[in-house]
A and B are shown apart, each in its own frame.
Chain A
């Protein structure tokens, strides 16, 4: 223990502010990202809390419609573009990918640092849009409302998203090159952890999709500033064209958000079942299948947009097909536990929470792909509930599950396990109480983005707000004990969960160059049948590498 405490690691190597702000170390950059996106998570959360309070009553209570509209827009934009999209890739991916590959850093450390600056700059513009009056278009920016009619900071927000998009592209590019070029000796493609596979698939989507949304958003700004007819029919444009371009990115963006989460879940389930992920190659390749198929289903957001009926049918059938790889993953995760040695530590509870919520999110996705039902529930709370089950129930659960799983590695500290478990349960209950009633109120006909609503929907809205409060308490509790752990938590050993994977063979926190000597990989991923995997505090280098 004492020998380890004296060891130099990436956290205590240098102490100046500049050593953080100009660091080329992927681990430090990951932490810069973490702080930045948590700021946006808090902002988006506050906005959500405010409008949930407003929705306690059917009439206007504490705010005007203009304010309400700005709040849900702020919630959507910050949560999607400035929290969810970068969350797992830019934080956990950034931190872990090189270590999992046995590399010293990403392929382009400077590009990595630049991406954080670019992202932060985009985020500041987004913040500016909020401070200077807010945006009221919804995160979807539908034209011609956003391009001609909206009287708010559309351009600033659009610019912020446009710029943040470049940060995504830089990260995606960096990941792809790193995975191709920097794998340790012996680390073949089918020995890669599934976390790496899912980041590979995500990076492909990012690189192919992000330019499209960037250009689309730019076109909105161009139409607004120069009154060139692109989307506004009064200027000779086509408003539905915008929807095609927007969803061409924004549907795959759903997978940008969920695939990395799936990668995290694979790592956690394998570790806490002490099993290789069942059907590993199928799970790995299904990520690629999702990445590719995901580009051909955007029209399922447009069944009632005046898109032709036959186009609708094609998008519908493809949407059903893209559901299959996700279903396969779920079955494989469950089968992984079969015959395993299952332990319900905090990260595993997050993973099981993820499974439960993602199953509901995924199945309700089938409702939406079914055209006849979609006609009725499109643009209602049913859709709101569905994507929160996938994005919050899925991705946010995975993000926090991953944060807990790798917390000892990242910070070198342990967190209070019991509090961790209690918090997962609170979050799980709060989440379901918030969003399950929204399926019901949605099918009953409650449209989304409604400030004022018919009285008969009030009861379900009250339940939702109650749930949101429970959820908020859960998140706050987590913030408290994680901060406590950071300062006063007991020191973490090298491999506290007894997990397989290169990241657990190096000290916690890792040294600046990740490994004292370049690792050689001898086993496939999740080799929980190899005794070496269970090594904990051995000095680096004296027991093989696994």
Chain B
């Protein structure tokens, strides 16, 4: 049986330190109050112990000043906690614009990752040292949660939605990857390792052992699906205007036939493919067939990656 020597896990990302500093601050405040109140209780118990059954202590109804003081001090302290916590949270939530994107799908009970180079892996995640990485994640079935304690990073992986998680590794080595949201029988086996490699070793790894067998990148795979599934029949500006042009669609404002305007983000595109009737683009006939059941979550993410590669507004 190994004894844990530390009470903090390894710090292996840029944000790990920030989270730990806050944690230590909270421990400090907590210890202060625990000792203060605990000490007072012990002192009062001894100092005011009942000496005789005839003791009749003088009544004391309260003290306005004290009440105000012990309301204000905690109030100030918790506001510090809130703002500090929110500031770090803001960083945790916002991936840098230049982050490398890796696609992740969770399903009972495994993680599948696809790198920009096209290489995929299961339950292992290779990432380069010192480069921000953003995971775009979804689930094939139930809710999972992607958790890397050494990076102090966690985000739920939700079916029907895209969530993202980012980190910048600061330490080489292998770190635990856990599923943190209970997801059924083998929830506790839905885990793996995150391997942080130096940049060049990562590049080499990402190309794959055999360059001839190299897999398609997500964008290439998406383009191929776009052709194979017949999307081009309607979405081809060269051959007509049955369906809208995909160029510049990503993140643009789309006007719907019911008058609403929506932003064409990942979730909108996903919904357009799975439930085309839910949001019909203004000026077009609702003739697009649904592709529900024909595409798995990885393929959907590849198509979206392709559409994104066609430019942003």
* Bound pair (A, B): yes
A interface residue numbers (CB < 8 A to B): 65-66, 69, 136-138, 140, 142, 144-145, 148-150, 232-234, 236, 238-240, 273-276, 278-282, 303-306, 309, 312-313, 316-317, 320-321, 323-324, 327-328, 330-331, 334-335, 337-344, 352, 355-356, 359-360, 363-364, 366-367, 369-376, 378-380, 440-441, 443-445, 447-460, 462, 498, 528-529, 531
Name 27 interchain pairs, CB-CB below 8 A, sorted by A. A69-B185, A69-B187, A142-B181, A145-B184, A233-B161, A239-B159, A278-B61, A278-B63, A279-B61, A306-B163, A309-B89, A313-B86, A316-B85, A337-B41, A339-B60, A352-B41, A363-B26, A367-B26, A373-B22, A373-B85, A375-B19, A378-B154, A445-B176, A449-B187, A452-B188, A529-B56, A531-B56
A109 to B185 Cα, complex, angstroms: 45
A67 to B189 Cα, complex, angstroms: 15
Residues of A within 8 A of B143 (CB): 142, 144-145, 239
Q: B158-199 CB contact bits vs A (8 Å, 1 = yes)?
A: 111101000000000000101111111111110000000000
A46 to B40 Cα, complex, angstroms: 37
A64 to B56 Cα, complex, angstroms: 61
Apart from A335-B66, A373-B26, A447-B178: 5 A-B pairs, beta carbons within 8 A:
A234-B159, A334-B44, A375-B89, A441-B4, A456-B2
A320 to B76 Cα, complex, angstroms: 10
Residue from the set B89, B90, B153 with the largest chain A CB neighbour count within 10 Å: B89
A450 to B88 Cα, complex, angstroms: 28
Residues of A within 8 A of B156 (CB): 304-306
Q: Which residue of B lies closest to A335 (CB)?
A: B66
Contact residue range for chain B? 35 or more
Q: Is the CB of B86 within 8 A of A443?
A: no
Q: Is the CB of A355 within 8 A of B67?
A: no
Q: Which 9 A-B pairs have the closest CB atoms?
A: A445-B149, A233-B160, A372-B88, A370-B85, A341-B55, A371-B89, A450-B188, A320-B78, A279-B62
B interface residue numbers (CB < 8 A to A): 1-4, 6-9, 18-19, 22-23, 26, 29-30, 33-34, 37-38, 40-41, 44-45, 48-51, 53, 55-63, 66-67, 70-71, 74-75, 78-79, 81-82, 84-90, 92-93, 108, 141-143, 145, 147, 149-150, 152-156, 158-161, 163, 176, 178-189, 275
Decide: A373 near B48, CB < 8 A? Known: A309-B93, A324-B71, A335-B66.
Answer: no
Q: Taking the nearest CB of chain B, how far is it from the CB of A67, in angstroms?
A: 10
Q: Taking the nearest CB of chain A, how far is it from the CB of B109, in angstroms?
A: 10
Decide: A376 near B154, CB < 8 A? Known: A324-B74, A360-B34.
Answer: yes
Q: Which residue of B lies closest to A342 (CB)?
A: B48
Q: Is the CB of A457 within 8 A of B4?
A: yes
Residues of A within 8 A of B180 (CB): 378-380, 447-448
Residues of A within 8 A of B75 (CB): 324
Decide: A239 near B158, CB < 8 A? Known: A452-B188, A459-B1.
Answer: yes
A370 to B89 Cα, complex, angstroms: 9
- B interface majority secondary structure: mixed
Checking B63, B84, B87, B159 against A233 with a beta-carbon cut-off of 8 angstroms, the contacting residue is: B159
Decide: A323 near B30, CB < 8 A? Known: A356-B38, A445-B178, A528-B57.
Answer: no
A339 to B183 Cα, complex, angstroms: 54
A304 to B147 Cα, complex, angstroms: 11
Decide: A355 near B37, CB < 8 A? Known: A233-B160, A324-B78, A366-B78.
Answer: yes
Residues of A within 8 A of B57 (CB): 273-275, 339-341, 528
Residues of A within 8 A of B185 (CB): 65-66, 69, 136
Q: Is the CB of A343 within 8 A of B49?
A: yes
A352 to B61 Cα, complex, angstroms: 21
Q: Taking the nearest CB of chain B, how far is it from the CB of A310, in angstroms?
A: 10
Q: Which residue of A lies closest to B152 (CB)?
A: A376
Q: Taking the nearest CB of chain A, how far is it from the CB of B143, in angstroms?
A: 6
Q: Is the CB of B4 within 8 A of A366?
A: no
Q: Is the CB of A331 within 8 A of B2?
A: no
